[in-house]
Amino acid sequence: MSDTQAAQELERLAELASTCTACGLAATRTNVVFGDGSTRAQVMFIGEGPGRNEDLQGLPFVGAAGQLLNQLLSEIGLQRSDAYIANVVKCRPPGNRDPRPDEIAACKGYLVDQIRLIDPTVVMTLGNFATKLLLKEERGITRLRGRAYPWWNRIVIPTFHPAAALRGGASVLASMREDFALTRATLDGRPEPRSEPEAAGHPVEQLELFG
């Protein structure tokens, strides 16, 4: 598929999503936050779900967590506009509660199509929800981060959610910097500098995201 076709297809999907009523979050949202960034990005980020600012503006990661994400990107020589940013759920859960399994399931098709159309080399999952959705893992982000997982001919690099770094302080931020450096090294084709090696994910089960 050409770049133009992929961009057109993404626009069509965003249009479709803008009137989506597949789950209860449709009733309380201001805007659907479909995604933002380069449709040809080599790196895609997947967060949890829109917060208040995102819901109001219709764009992902525009608040304090977004500023941290922009900073971490700049530290590995990338701008936000080089990346593509999306969320597990496209509508704000009221009061920023966790997204529910039925809401995640109802929204999953959009994310699958976004990954397929953007076709990134590296997917960075931000926090537990995105990481567990892609890697089909019970273990939490603290255990899973720090390494790269082969996933559908791509690389998934899990890291903390930026909001956790804003809450959790220096050690969370230091871990995120390591994970972003791993993304840089992966894009550059350098061997992985690994911090805490964990057993690999389960590639066969991971396929279920697309199944």
Q: Is 35 in the site for ligand URA (CB under 6 A)?
A: no
Q: How far apart are CA 130 and CA 133, in angstroms?
A: 5
The torsion angles phi and psi of 111, rounded to 5 degrees, stand at -65, -40
CA dihedral 27, 105, 94, 17 (to 10 degrees): -50
**Which residue from 17, 43, 45, 61 is in contact with ligand URA, where contact means CB under 6 A?**
61
Nearest approach, Cβ of 82 to ligand URA (angstroms)? Answer: 18
Based on CB atoms, which residue is closest to ligand URA, 61 or 151?
Answer: 61
Based on CB atoms, which residue is closest to ligand URA, 135 or 163?
Answer: 163
Nearest approach, Cβ of 49 to ligand URA (angstroms)? Answer: 5
Q: How far apart are CA 29 and CA 90, in angstroms?
A: 9
Run of H or E including 89: none
**Which residue from 32, 39, 41, 49 is in contact with ligand URA, where contact means CB under 6 A?**
49
Spatial contact of 163 and 61, defined as CB atoms under 8 Å apart:
no
Q: Which stretch binds ligand URA (CB under 6 A): 1-9, 45-53, 101-109, 199-207?
A: 45-53
b/e per residue 52-66 (b: at least 16 CB within 10 A): ebbbeebbbbbbebb
How far does the chain reach from its first CA to its final CA, in angstroms?
A: 21
Q: Which stretch binds ligand URA (CB under 6 A): 18-26, 43-51, 110-118, 168-176?
A: 43-51
Q: Is 119 in the site for ligand URA (CB under 6 A)?
A: no
Total binding residues toward ligand URA, as defined by CB under 6 A:
10
- Binding site residues, ligand URA, CB under 6 A: 47-51, 54, 60-61, 65, 87
